Structure 1
């Protein structure tokens, strides 16, 4: 039985001026915690469907809950709606024992709900972003109200990591909605119910979401009466609201941190984002076919200068998807900044004939001032060697609607600036790189078709011997470093700032916001 356990010389764009969003009209209450919980990539506006969410789980997990989640240190998986689990000897059957819990409408949570949820999550017609990750699931059974059995077609060392992202949904509320209509349902933003310590009560479009305490929560009555998630189109507005006392918590970029470091009214929370940022080459575009062109992109970008000047040193260069020593071979290419080498490679490849100075659309969903400056720096560096990229920043839904189409228009995203989870489980990158995950099958948005990479990923995912997994992922790293499906850039730290008036507050800089063990029922605010 297992226990669940300033590039001043190259910064082109100045930081955008912002103003704070007006305060809510509701009076401040000592028992109300307000925050910009999902400021950052993707934002939260309209992001209430956990099946389709790629970020915002810090917020969603306050009222929805998964069977299992990572602990707050992101080191082990612990129980949430499951009290325990066991794995069969052949590692193809996971049996979960479920806790006694109720939905916010008072109906009992049962194994049938869990079965219903997992089956929705495995069905791409629902808009589930988890379907590709759940492909190993061959059957889901609910032998009794408190037992769930998940069967796999083959062992998968990453399945439990994926299960931490599957938020349980009520069968009785959603079963009548056709799968292909589920993503468009108004239920998500009007009357969603979960099992968590707070209940959904109100959404004011593009302003805030309000939750009220679930006094019948199995983990005890929450200390707070309300939790409010404010929407900020710009992180600077969230920071202004934090300083004025309108909110008590917000996500911040690394360049905002110094202003809070010595302020005793706030606590800065720092951690590994477990997200690798990269320039993704659309491999369906002929301009990237020659690996020498992709190599030139890597040599053209002074990553160290960007990290030092724009990230204030709070990032680590990445030469594959990973930066952890145990996952990175000693002999891979470091792609040190060498613009002359980049020019030579482009000349060898015949870049003037392939594309030359024609503009290349660089699509991204990163819209913060920091991201704007990063892309301006990248644009300037690539221009110096003869590659003309034109950044286009859009919101996350628009980005997804472009890149996830089976018949996507190459001209709209010849290149992307994006990020993908590279931990806590190393297998998290598989959906973004495996050939079997090319849209619509999955989120391999760069359309990477690299047999050696797919083979390396498949072998790593199938490796259930923990003592051998690191070597498997070193091979993945080596292939990535050689074949360059992406131009990998860095893994940055992630930050949050909370008022010191808030007690027992847990926020972890987790990829996508979690989920992770946070115990929001214990959060409180000092008078």
Structure 2
């Protein structure tokens, strides 16, 4: 890198708190793509253990691979490490034909690795987020090295969608670890072995991860020599690095969009996030037991005004966990903005005795300027009706540590601002709302236990008739709207910006940063 450019990079980092530019000099001489792949709500900085991953799949998919994955349009599930799959008529047996592939250390990938991974993912001692999601699996059989058969004790309509997030792991490299050791092992960040188009080379703490091309990848050697994932403290720092030419891709917020929209040096990528943002009511604290209080929160917030002013209209109001028209039935309560009604509901519920004006911690992992503005607006609206919330933004690992603690302090998160995918597969909401998914089994960290909602989710997951699935998920929507486990806010668009120097580069604003088949082996860059 020229001295002038290097000075400019360090100046930008110092000004905006960006990670210092410490990528290896050799990487700059070869065909290297550098991006902020974990910037924004779809990323997860320092996310290395795929069993515990709740985001950052765009990056994880570069060196790990699942059996199946979404296509890049998020419209269908297709093969990844499985070249093909079939399902028996009663939806209790899934047969996967496996690709002929080797691990990055040269060992063969076989059906043993599939069974090993599923067994690990079902074992809560590994720190897995899959235990409850995979509890319908009764066994994994291995007729031969190229075939894996997953058998279920009951139908699970969300199984394939779950498997898109389950990265297959090397049995030969990890079998020597106990499940508890894997939960905290440094292996994930030092010498992980995958089957993807790029191999892990090094992680420089809080600065970047470097991958190198796998010469023997089954779809051919990648067109780029290296991929580097730079870490940034905030989106502003990543945008500054993008403008300076230090990186070629990053997530951007909606207020950055006008800067790039008509700039021929960049390609703006826009799409629906498939994530519903919500205020989550912790059911282990007494504040929210009366549904009138939860209804008051909904009526107190002018969701459309926030969308118009802070999202520039690029979001859709959500009255349940879904906004896709075919999943939203008629007759839902729209919870129109009505502060007077909110005050009346709070008075009827006895809010003065329940809490009054005592501050309520409002925890979030969203730490972008836009999220801060959104939360400030909501805070002001709630204050007008007598609910005093105090935002607390932390990074994702801290957030997860609080909500998934073995013995959580529920007073640390009586209310959260978070997001959960509402598609492309509607079963995704199950992990946060079903009573059977309470930790440590699953991700229902708010300890929601609403029989009508759980019944609706169970019925949807057990449905084997594709023509009935839409009706089943409409029932889920109705139950959410009536019971209000969350105060659902909106589903917003998301944006990425890529340098036009990148060729055949694929990124989608997908929930949790993927997963989908982006084919990184095809990514290239003009020097």
More helix per residue:
2
Partner of 2:236: 236
- Within a 5 Å distance, the mapping from 1:145-224 to structure 2 comes to 145-224=145-224
- TM-score normalised by the chain length of structure 1: 0.95
- Provide the C-alpha distance between the structure 1 equivalents of 2:91 and 2:483, rounded to a whole number of angstroms: 32
- TM-score normalised by the chain length of structure 2: 0.95
- Provide the C-alpha distance between the structure 2 equivalents of 1:407 and 1:188, rounded to a whole number of angstroms: 26
Contact 2:35 2:249 in 1 (8 A): yes
CA distance 1:263–1:30, shift in 2 (3 Å)? farther
Is structure 2 residue 359 aligned with structure 1 residue 345?
A: no
1:500-522: CA deviations, max 9, x gaps? 01000011111111121111111
1:364-397: CA deviations, max 9, x gaps? 1111111111111111110010000011111212
- Provide the C-alpha distance between the structure 2 equivalents of 1:131 and 1:494, rounded to a whole number of angstroms: 30
1:222-275: CA deviations, max 9, x gaps? 110000000011010000000010000001112211111011100011111111
What's the secondary structure of 2:261's corresponding residue? Answer: coil
Partner of 1:135: 135
Contact 1:448 1:485 in 2 (8 A): yes
Contact 1:362 1:389 in 2 (8 A): yes
- Provide the C-alpha distance between the structure 1 equivalents of 2:335 and 2:492, rounded to a whole number of angstroms: 18
The offset of 1:85, in angstroms, is: 0.8
Partner of 1:433: 433
Contact 2:43 2:512 in 1 (8 A): no
- Within a 5 Å distance, the mapping from 1:341-420 to structure 2 comes to 341-405=341-405, 407-420=407-420
Partner of 2:312: 312
Partner of 1:104: 104
1:124-147: CA deviations, max 9, x gaps? 111111111111111111121100
Q: Which residue among 7, 24, 36 is the counterpart of 2:22? A: 24
Deviation beyond 6 Å, 4+ runs, structure 1: none
The offset of 1:25, in angstroms, is: 5.1
The offset of 1:405, in angstroms, is: 3.3
Partner of 1:503: 503
Contact 2:90 2:464 in 1 (8 A): no
1:290-309: CA deviations, max 9, x gaps? 10100000011111111111
Contact 1:42 1:366 in 2 (8 A): no
Partner of 2:275: 275
1:312-370: CA deviations, max 9, x gaps? 11111100000011111111011111111111111111111111001111111111111
Contact 1:44 1:231 in 2 (8 A): no
- The count of aligned residue pairs is 511
Gaps in structure 2 of 5+ consecutive residues: 1-14
